[in-house]
Amino acid sequence: MRGTRVRILRDIENWVNDPKAPKIFWLTGWAGTGKSTIAWTVCLRTNHGSDTVLGGSFFCSRSASWAAQRDVRCIIPTLAQLLARQSTTFSKALADELARDPDVVHKHVPVQIETLLSRPLQALKKSRVPLVFVIDALDECGGQSIANGTLDNTETHRIVSEMLEALIAFLSTETDLPVKFLVTSRPETHIRDTPVADAKFSQVLRLHTVDKNQITADIRLYITTKLYSTPRLNSRFTNYDVEALVRLCDGLFIVASTALQYILGAGIDRAAKRFQTLLNASRDGLSPCAAVPLDRMYALIVEDAAKVDETGMEDLPAMLQLLAVLLSARMILSVSAIADLLGLAKDDVRASSSRLHAVVHVPDDDDEPGLRTLHASFGEYLFHRASPHIRILESHVHRTPALACLRVMGTHLFFNISQSKSSYEPNDRAKRNGIPLSLEYACTQWVYHVASLPEPSDFDKIIEDIFGRKFMFWLEVMSILGQVPRASAMLFLAAATVRRHMYMYCRRLLIQKPGAVAGALTIFSRCQFLCCVISRGHPAQCGTHLHLRASSCE
């Protein structure tokens, strides 16, 4: 909003234009202090300014639809690609580097920095226009992030630290390069313990230590503008109401944003009532802890959304089940897909999600992927700080989606789902229309949810029932989706977690079914062979001249 964060944005602008300033600006602060909004504003201003160039930006996000947005290894290649699109000089230098090392994007991040940024940027050394890169929410990298397995938080934190150290080493030696990096994150230990927090290498601004009066004035302007946006709203709220809401926010912009979405989300006629409900819920005053006002807000929103209504989703457990799937989903899903996974009507899921509109984005189209929570702090609240009747046990959060995935596969997998006329028909002619998003999610993600359970062996019998009958149908879906290598990796992961029945039924299938491979191949080599054959590729590529016909699959 125009007129807010003026001093902070001016400080960043001065840093960009000061050739003697450190090459990195670390903007840090707790959840809800406005880091991403500031980063976005800097991108807009830099991109549209005549005296600066936005080299590229990467906004990390745990809730994004692309797993790459939480994979730290994708940051440097993305920034290099974005700069190459707008600078011919850099593009040619980058192409030369890629010709020498075409596999660099798969190497360690320090090597990426050297090959994709450091050396090709030498071509821009004579430029006098500041080149700015923005990396936002670096702390949100982590968790399950790659297609063929997982990258746990410990490994991610190590790579993030390596990246920051390599960036600082590169920028410290190339002092003449007109290149700067704006990095935002929470003050997490693995980031704080790197040289990025050292004033010798970075300019540091901690948002949670900014003058409280400055923050309060910005929040007051935002709330006033929103509450007085129309004449009908203007007549319902007083300056006293504005000040009461400002005090509730306690310096957190996300509280102001969430509060106003909750107050105004049900329409003008209900706004005043919701406003009073919100204030009454906080009548005991605010704790010095910054999370308290946000936690109270989240509790109010969840409890209010779970009240009995005409949709049929009448209780808190049903609401928490929906939230568990949203928070643990490994890709962004649609209303239809969530409904199918949970065995609910689409209207019920849409109605319940809409009641959570202050914290959940609901796409207009039921089939459009986009149903997701808006801020990582909401999941953290439900997992760690919520009261017992609202809290979702993180150790059990994968149970609901694991059951949902297996149920969908058991229901929706059938012979020749791609409607191929022949088993010799090339894979690219197969039809994906018969594979709904819920089945795609179930087939590609089931094993990761099961493997994340405290006792994955509890699912042995369910997996036995499905794969004993439909193992080949699952492989066909994975083939149509272009996920044959992943199918093989999933089988290895299943063998390491759900050992007994998965091993037994894969073995029985591969030995007894017509067209299966005989000989001394291990069980999982045979699984991999079947993955190759079902892809309808050339037999020679599978190392054998056997064909597996559709009738054999059946």
Q: Which residue has the higher pLDDT, 525 or 180?
A: 180
For the whole model, what pTM was predicted?
Answer: 0.64
Distance CA 174, CA 168 (A): 10
Q: In this structure, are 369 and 311 located in the same domain? A: yes
* Measured distance between the N- and C-terminal CA atoms of the chain, rounded to whole angstroms: 61
Look at 320-329, 436-445, 514-523 and tell me which has the smallest mean pLDDT: 514-523
Would 434 be classed as within a structural domain?
yes
pLDDT higher at 520 or 70: 70
What is the DSSP track for 380-431? HIIIIIS-TTTPPPGGGTTHHHHHHHHHHHHHH--TTTT--S-TTS-GGGS-
Number of Cβ within 10 Å of residue 388's Cβ equals 6
Do 179 and 225 lie in one domain? The reply is no
Return the minimum-mean-pLDDT range out of 172-186, 206-220, 499-513: 499-513
C-beta atoms surrounding 393 within 10 Å: 12
Top-confidence residue, 94 or 230: 94
Q: pLDDT at residue 543 above 90? A: no
pLDDT digits (tens, 9 = 90+) for 227-286: 888 888 888 888 888 998 898 887 888 888 888 988 888 788 888 888 888 777 654 433
Identify the weakest region by mean pLDDT among 145-154, 406-415, 431-440.
Answer: 145-154
Domains in the chain, number: 4
Residue linked to tokens 């059951």: 403
In the structure, what pLDDT confidence band is assigned to residue 479 with cuts at 50, 70 and 90?
Answer: confident
Please report whether residue 194 resides in a domain: yes
Last residue of a domain, one of 169, 193, 210: 210
The residue type found at 495 is A
Q: Is the pLDDT of residue 85 over 90?
A: yes
User: Are 168 and 29 within one domain?
Assistant: yes
From residue 301, alpha-carbon distances to 310, 311, 392, 421 in Å are 18, 17, 15, 52
Say whether both 460 and 496 belong to one domain: yes
Average pLDDT over residues 492-513: 59
Joined together, the tokens standing for residue 448 give 């990761």
- What are the φ/ψ torsions at residue 501 (nearest 5 degrees)? -75, -35
What average pLDDT score do residues 426-441 get?
A: 75
Determine the residue type at 332. I
User: In terms of residue numbers, what domain contains 222?
Assistant: 211-286
Q: Which of 210, 233, 266 is the last residue of a domain?
A: 210
pLDDT of residue 430: 56
Structure tokens belonging to residue 216: 């309060």
Same domain, 227 and 194: no
Contact between 264 and 226 (Cβ < 8 Å): yes
Whether 274 and 336 map to the same domain: the answer is no
Note whether residue 403 is domain-resident.
no
Same domain, 122 and 191: yes
Task: Find the mean pLDDT for residues 474-496.
Answer: 83
Which of 286, 314, 347 is where one domain is finished? 286
At residue 432 the predicted structure's pLDDT band, cuts being 50, 70 and 90, is low
Check residue 508 and give its pLDDT: 54
* 187 and 118 in a common domain: yes
